[in-house]
Every structure is written in C-alpha cells, then in structure tokens.
Structure 1
Amino acid sequence: MVTKEIIILNEQGFHVRPAQLFVDKANEFHSDLKVRSENGEEADGKSMLDLMTLGLEKGARVTLEVSGPDEQECLQSLAELIESKFGEA
C-alpha cells in the first residue's frame, strides 16, 4: 500500500468535471483506491458518487491510499492529475 497527502488546487474544488476525470483515470488501474478527507471521511476513489459526497473545495487536504499490483503508477498518475488542477486555468 502507498499513500500520499495532496492539496486540491483548482478554484472550483472537486466538482463534477474533476471528479469524473479522477474516476476515469483511477479506473485505468487495477489497484484499489481510497480518498480520505481531512475530517476522516473516506470514499472509494473509483466511484464518482462517493467522491462527490466528500465536498472537497480548493485548499482541502486529501490522502490518496492505493493498494494493488499497479499502486505506484496509479498514485503517481492521480497525484499529477490533481496537481495539474485537472487542466483548469
């Protein structure tokens, strides 16, 4: 299992579009993925509905927890997606 704490940087936070991009990317991998918010709430990183219930806004700290055969690649890819602000200006 690998983990990484990361900050949501895009202005609108984790709204529908970024959540969909995140889920699409997460589903490219075989590993299991959990997203944990600062307040301890946890979501399945491959479920858009689960992610949306976290209500993540700009500046929110989340922990990505990945376990499985391609965990390193999955974690790196998702961290890069978040750090790129999901392609938003």
Structure 2
Amino acid sequence: MSREFTYTITDPVGIHARPAGKLVKIAQQFESDITLDHSGSTADAKHILGVMSLGIGKGDLLKVSIAGADEDKAAEELEAFFKNDL
C-alpha cells in the first residue's frame, strides 16, 4: 500500500535551494520511496538535483507519493513540512 497527498505551493519563490535541501533531508530519514510529481515530471525526493529540476513555483500543484515500511510516519512529517514551510 502507499500514501499520497497533493499540496499547492504557497511560498512566494516556490521550492528554491533552501527548502529543497530541507525537503531532501527529511525524505532521507525514511526507508520508504518518496516521489514528487509536478506537471507530469517526477523526481525522487531524496535527491536535491531531481527536486530542483522540477522547477516548482508558487501556486504549482505537487503530488507526493510515499511507499514503504514507514510511509505513514513519512507522510505525516512531509505534510507538516509543506504546510509550515512551503
């Protein structure tokens, strides 16, 4: 089974280097596979170059998919990160 959620980015400059680094750092704490989907392009949330290559800006819709042994905890922490930081 897997978990997923969508989030509309509210940060005025989108996912730039600092929040991308923070996102990757959170994702790397989990065993689960974490994938970001933006307008049909996907990236592994554990690799900063992939996250940055999505070019996510303010108002963009991002789908986060999480699959693995600790997916519930990962989803909880990532959702909190998006709500508080992006």
| Pairwise TM-score range, normalised by the shorter structure | over 0.9
| Equivalent pair of 1:9/1:82 in contact (CA under 8 Å) | no
Q: For 2:12, what is the secondary structure of its paired residue?
A: coil
Question: CA separation in 2, counterparts of 1:73 and 1:11?
Answer: 28
* TM-score, scaled to structure 1: 0.91
SS of the equivalent of 1:78 reads helix
Tell me how far 1:29 sits from its aligned partner: 0.8
- For residue 18 of structure 2, give the secondary structure of its aligned residue in structure 1: helix
**What TM-score do the two structures reach when normalised by structure 2?**
0.94
Identity of aligned residues (%): 29
For structure 2, list consecutive stretches of 5 or more residues without a partner in the other structure.
none
**1:82 Cα deviation after fit:** 1.0
Give per-residue Cα distances to partners, 1:7-50, cap 9 Å, x unaligned.
Answer: 1111111000000000000111110000001x210000101000
3-state SS of 1:36 partner? strand
**Count of aligned positions:** 85
* Cα RMSD, aligned residues only: 0.9
